Amino acid sequence: MSEQNSNPFKNLEGDLKDVPPELRKKVMDDVAAAKLLMELANLFTGNYASIIEGMLKTKNK
């Protein structure tokens, strides 16, 4: 019964442990790869809206 009444968030207040360097490197490499893919996708697909808008825009003088 005392397990139900205990607050699990109290356990989060403890000291944080350092992450092993190999795990940290793997996570950072995965983040860098995801960022690269997002930037490449934006390069090839992000400007379609502005290109179409520029082609359809009429010049008023």
- Residue 35 is predicted with a pLDDT of 97
Residue 58 has pLDDT above 80, yes or no: no
Binning pLDDT at 50, 70 and 90, where does residue 3 land?
low
Q: Please state the domain extents for the chain.
A: 18-61
DSSP conformation letters of the chain: -HHHHS-GGGGGGSPPPPPPHHHHHHHHHHHHHHHHHHHHHHHHHTTHHHHHHHHHPPPP-
- Residue 33 is predicted with a pLDDT of 97
Mean pLDDT of the chain: 83
Binning pLDDT at 50, 70 and 90, where does residue 29 land?
very high
